[in-house]
Amino acid sequence: MPGIIETAASCLDAGETGLLHAATALSRILAQCPCVSETESVPLTAAHGRILAEDLIAPLDVPPRDNSAMDGYALRLQDLSDTEGTVLRRAGRAMAGSPYGEAVHAGECVRIMTGAPIPDGADTVVIQEQAMERDGLVHLNPGHRQGQNIRRRGEDLRAGSVVLERGRRIKAADLGLIASLGIAEIPVFRRPRVVLFSTGDELCPLGNTPRSGQIYDSNRYSLRGLLDGHPVETLDLGIVPDDPQRLRQVLEESSRTADVVISTGGVSVGEADHVKQILAALGEVRFWKIAIKPGRPLAFGRLGAGTLFFGLPGNPVAAMVTFVRFVSPALERIAGLGPRPPLTFEVPCLDALRKVPGRTEFQRGRLQPDAQGRLRVKVTGRQGSGILHSMSQADCLIVLEHDRGPVAEGEMVTVQPLPGWI
C-alpha cells in the first residue's frame, strides 16, 4: 500500500498464543527487583550520577544571612523621600567576602556588592543604575520599596529541611546545592553489579576476520552504551560460545557475584538456543515470550537465590528495544531510584503505519519540529528488527499500544524519547 511503512513480517506475530502483555511483563519484572541494601559514603566529586541512600537534611540556612541580590547601595527606606530625590552620605563599603562591620545610621548608605551581607540597620538595596555618587554623596530618586534586591536568610533552604530525598539520582545542579551546605560526602547506594555477554558461534569478535556465516558482535556494544547511562558496574564477558557446558559455567559463576545477568541471543526455540534451558536448571524462568514487536523472545528469570537474568533477543534492534523498555526500569529499581514512569508524550505521525492489534509495537522514530516549532515524528526507514541503522537514526520509540490497529498519516501517536535524544 503506497505511503505505508513496511515492517518485517513474522509467522509468529500477534496470533501466537501464550504471549504475555507488555505491561504485565514489566509489572512482573519490577516485582522481582529489590533495591540494593548496601550503602557507602562518597566524596562530592565522585557523587554525580549516584543514587542517594538517605534523605539529605540541610544543616544550615541557605543563604546563611540576608545578602544583596545586586550591586548598589544598602540603606534605610525611611531615609528616602516618597516624592523627590534624596542625598545620603556613603558610610562605607560591603563586599561578599568583606562585610561592613557597623550599623547603617540615619542619613547614611553603604556601597554594597552582590552577595555581601546586608549591614545592620539597612532594609533596602537600591541598584547602582538608579543612583549617582559624587564626592562621597549618593543621589537617589524616589520610588523604592522596603526589602527590594535583598535575598533573605534561608530563602533557598531552611536548616532542618529535606533538601534531596532518598532515591534521587544526583545531578550536576545537586552537586552545587549540596556544596552550598558545606557537605563534602554523601551516602549513596552501592552500584548494582551487571554481567553482560553475547552468545552464538555465528558471532565474530572485533579485530578478527569473520568465517563463512559469521557476523560481527554488535549487540554487546549497543548494550554497553545503554548500561553506561545507569549507575551500575558492568563486567563484560565478551562472546560465550554455543556450548551448554561453558554457558552453564558462566551462569553459575555470575550468579555468585552479580545482581543482574544480561545475555543477548540464544533465547528462542532453535536447536542451539540453550540459555532458557540452562536458566531453568539453575534457577527459574518467569517468562520468555512477550506480545511485543520487536523483542518477542525475551527470557526473564532468576539464577540461584537472587540474581536476576535477562535473556535479550539476538536481533540488534530487538535487543535495544527490550533493554530500554524492560531492563532499564529494572536497573533503576535495583539501583535505588524512586519509582517513575517512562517519559512519553503524544505527537502527530508523519507516516501511515501498519499495525496488527494484539501486541505492543515499537517503531523507531525521529522527532522533527514544524514551522511553528511543534514536534512531529517520522519513522526512520525500514523497521525490521535486524536493521540497526533504523535505531541509529532514531531519537525516540513510537509506541503503538497493544489493542491499536493501523495508524493513518497525521494521527497522534505516543513516543518515548531514547537516551540522549536532546
Asked if the model's pLDDT at residue 147 lies above 70, the reply is: yes
pLDDT of residue 270: 52
Give phi and psi for 207, each to the nearest 5: 100, -20
- 364, 380 in Cβ contact below 8 A? yes
Confidence (pTM) = 0.85
32's torsion region: left (phi>0), alpha (psi -120 to 50) or beta? alpha
Give the integer Cα–Cα distance in Å for 365 and 369: 13
Above 70 in pLDDT, residue 422?
Answer: no
Q: What's the CATH code, domain 39-62+155-189?
A: 3.90.105.10
**Residues 188-207, mean pLDDT to the nearest whole number:** 93
**What is the reported pLDDT for 215?**
87
Asked if pLDDT for residue 1 goes beyond 50, the answer is no
Mean pLDDT of 338-343: 84
At residue 271, the pLDDT reads 42
Mean pLDDT of 138-167: 96
Report the 10 Å Cβ neighbour count for 163. 21
Crossing angle of helices 275-282/244-257, nearest 10°? 50
| CB-based contact 301:309 (threshold 8 Å) | yes
Domains of the chain by residue range: 7-38+190-335, 39-62+155-189, 67-151, 345-417
Quote the cell numbers at residue 41. Answer: 559514603
**273: confidence class by pLDDT, cuts 50, 70, 90:** low
- CB atoms under 10 Å from CB of 336, counted, come to 24
pLDDT at residue 9 above 80? no
Is 67-151 CATH 2.170.190.11?
yes
Binning pLDDT at 50, 70 and 90, where does residue 16 land? low
Residue-wise pLDDT for 367-420, tens only, equals: 999 999 999 999 998 887 778 888 999 999 999 999 999 999 999 999 999 987
If one compares 386 and 363, the residue with the highest pLDDT of the two is 363
Q: Return d(Cα 421, Cα 400) in angstroms, integer.
A: 19
- Distances from the Cα of 150 to the Cα of 70, 137, 357, angstroms: 8, 22, 61
Beta bridge partners of 133: 138
Task: Identify whether the C-beta of residue 385 lies closer than 8 Å to the C-beta of residue 10.
Answer: no
What is d(CA 353, CA 365) in angstroms, rounded to the nearest whole number?
12
Query: Residue 321 pLDDT more than 90?
Result: yes
Cell numbers at 408, concatenated: 493513518
Q: What pLDDT does 20 receive?
A: 94
Q: What is the DSSP letter of 237?
A: E
The count of C-alpha atoms lying within 13 angstroms of the C-alpha of 356, restricted to the half-sphere facing its C-beta, is 17
For residues 260 and 304, the answer to whether their CB atoms sit within 8 Å is: no
The cell numbers describing 398, all together, are 513510537
Q: What is the pLDDT of residue 272?
A: 42
Let me know if 110 is exposed, middle or buried by CB neighbors in 10 A (0-12, 13-18, 19+).
buried
CATH fold, domain 345-417, is Beta-clip (2.40.340)
Mean pLDDT of 239-258: 92
Residue by residue, DSSP assigns 371-417 as: TTS-EEEEE-S---TT-HHHHHT-SEEEEE-TT---B-TT-EEEEEE
* DSSP for 291-308, written as a single string: SEES----EEEEETTTEE
Rg over alpha carbons for the chain, rounded to the nearest Å, is 30
At 266 the pLDDT is 67
3-state DSSP assignment of residue 130: helix
Beta strands at 215-216 and 203-204: parallel, antiparallel or unpaired: parallel
If you search the block for the grid coordinates 511485543, which residue do you land on? 292
Which class is 7-38+190-335 in CATH?
alpha beta
Q: Is the pLDDT of residue 3 over 80?
A: no
Q: Tell me: the pLDDT tens digits for 97-142? A: 999 999 999 999 999 999 999 999 999 999 999 999 999 999 999 9
Q: Give me the residues paired with residue 197 across strands.
A: 263
Give the tens place of pLDDT for each residue, 163-184.
999 999 999 999 999 999 999 9
Q: So what's the pLDDT on residue 386? A: 76
